[in-house]
């Protein structure tokens, strides 16, 4: 049971980091990223290739984060003049290009065979049981760092300017904001988090292949952001946990309905997950924890003015 809980904690941490990245790009910046799985693949493969080539695992992780951030910024730079719908198509096309590259360029990615034997950070200094605890704590530590960093950014002047761009980029540009620079920085910040999550994925499984990186990664990230509340980093953590509870909790349906076969149970699981999300959207349309909004406190009324109002002429 302990091993199962550690696995869940690790997977939730990785999923939440990906969700925080999407929340920075789409939740705060208003830039739809349907190619999230492609950037995640770039982070995982970059870390795996570097780590298996002799680079230390932690250095490989940092380099993977940088590569993923640069990839995100370049894609956003290419699509500066595109509206949200076309940006979504560009990111989707990028994800397909990445999938074809990792599948066919065997000299670099080993093709369909994948990359095995990925070294883990500090794995040679402790046993397997102790390392499972360490890696779960390491993943949660990375999640905490990304969360506090993005939370500070969202409450900073840059975060408020990014929200202004999300609401109306024309008005923000009229007020003197460099919209393209704000968007590119947001995409790059999200890329850093995606690269960290991809590296953790590679370290956790120690083996990656193209089949592990499908559109479902992007779907889960959007589910977590919508469930938690678009633009809310605190809500994202709750949303990611809720989505994982739905995904893992429905595995135990077979204990309550033993007469269903595997195919029927799989269909029932998806139905229950969809039903849970529909109910959430009906009763909590803005998410479990809506976005933080800066509010201006109304000034207290002047007691002298209230006691002696001006006489009407």
- The two tokens of residue 189 are 């910040």
- Is 271 part of any domain? no
Confidence bin at 306 (pLDDT 50/70/90): low
Confidence bin at 68 (pLDDT 50/70/90): very high
Domains: count for the chain: 1
- Is 118 part of any domain? yes
- Is 185 part of any domain? yes
Question: Is pLDDT of 305 > 60?
Answer: no
Structural contact between residues 68 and 192, judged by C-beta atoms closer than 8 angstroms: yes
What pLDDT score was predicted for residue 276?
77
Question: Is pLDDT of 122 > 80?
Answer: yes
- Is 305 part of any domain? no
- Is 126 part of any domain? yes
- The two tokens of residue 37 are 């799985």
Confidence bin at 274 (pLDDT 50/70/90): confident
- Is 35 part of any domain? yes
- Please provide the average confidence, as pLDDT, over all residues in the chain: 86
What is the percent of the chain with per-residue pLDDT over 90, rounded to a whole number?
Answer: 42
Greatest CA separation for the chain: 89
169 lies in which domain range?
2-213
What pLDDT score was predicted for residue 167?
87
- Say which range, 68-77, 121-130, 134-143, 200-209, has the weakest mean pLDDT: 121-130
Question: Is pLDDT of 313 > 60?
Answer: no
Structural contact between residues 208 and 18, judged by C-beta atoms closer than 8 angstroms: no
- Is 45 part of any domain? yes
- Is 235 part of any domain? no
Confidence bin at 143 (pLDDT 50/70/90): very high
Q: Extract long-range pairs of 128-136: CB within 8 Å, 24+ residues apart.
A: 132/3, 132/6, 133/6, 135/10, 135/203, 135/204, 136/6, 136/9, 136/10, 136/13
How far apart CA 131 and CA 241 sit, in angstroms, is 23
Q: Which residue has the higher pLDDT, 8 or 86?
A: 8
Average pLDDT (150-174) is 89
Confidence bin at 207 (pLDDT 50/70/90): very high
What pLDDT score was predicted for residue 288?
82
What pLDDT score was predicted for residue 178?
87
Question: Is pLDDT of 100 > 60?
Answer: yes
Count Cβ atoms below 10 Å from residue 256 Cβ, excluding itself.
Answer: 7
How far apart CA 189 and CA 161 sit, in angstroms, is 15
């Amino acid at each position: 049971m302990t091993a199962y809980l550690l696995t869940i904690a690790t997977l939730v941490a990785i999923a939440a980091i990906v969700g925080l990245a999407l929340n920075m790009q789409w939740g705060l910046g208003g830039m739809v990223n349907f190619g999230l799985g492609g950037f995640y693949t770039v982070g995982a493969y970059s870390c795996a290739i570097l780590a298996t080539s002799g680079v230390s695992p932690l250095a490989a992780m940092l380099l993977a984060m940088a590569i993923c951030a640069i990839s995100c910024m370049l894609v956003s730079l290419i699509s500066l003049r595109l509206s949200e719908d076309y940006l979504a198509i560009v990111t989707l096309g990028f994800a397909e290009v990445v999938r074809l590259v990792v599948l066919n360029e065997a000299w670099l990615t080993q093709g369909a065979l994948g990359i095995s034997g990925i070294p883990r950070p500090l794995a040679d200094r402790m046993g397997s049981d102790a390392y499972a605890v360490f890696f779960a704590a390491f993943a949660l530590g990375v999640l905490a760092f990304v969360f506090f960093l993005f939370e500070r950014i969202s409450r900073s002047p840059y975060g408020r300017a990014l929200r202004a761009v999300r609401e109306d980029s024309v008005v923000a540009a009229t007020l003197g904001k460099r919209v393209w620079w704000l968007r590119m920085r947001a995409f790059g910040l999200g890329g850093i988090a995606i690269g960290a999550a991809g590296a953790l994925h590679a370290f956790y499984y120690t083996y990656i292949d193209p089949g592990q990186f499908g559109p479902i990664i992007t779907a889960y990230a959007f589910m977590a952001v919508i469930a938690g509340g678009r633009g809310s980093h605190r809500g994202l953590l709750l949303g990611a946990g809720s989505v994982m509870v739905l995904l893992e909790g429905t595995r135990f349906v077979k204990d309550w309905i033993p007469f269903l076969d595997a195919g029927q149970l799989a269909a029932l699981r998806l139905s229950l997950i969809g039903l849970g999300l529909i109910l959430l959207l009906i009763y909590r349309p803005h998410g479990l924890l809506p976005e933080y909004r800066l509010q201006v406190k109304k000034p207290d009324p002047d007691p002298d003015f209230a006691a002696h109002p001006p006489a009407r002429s």
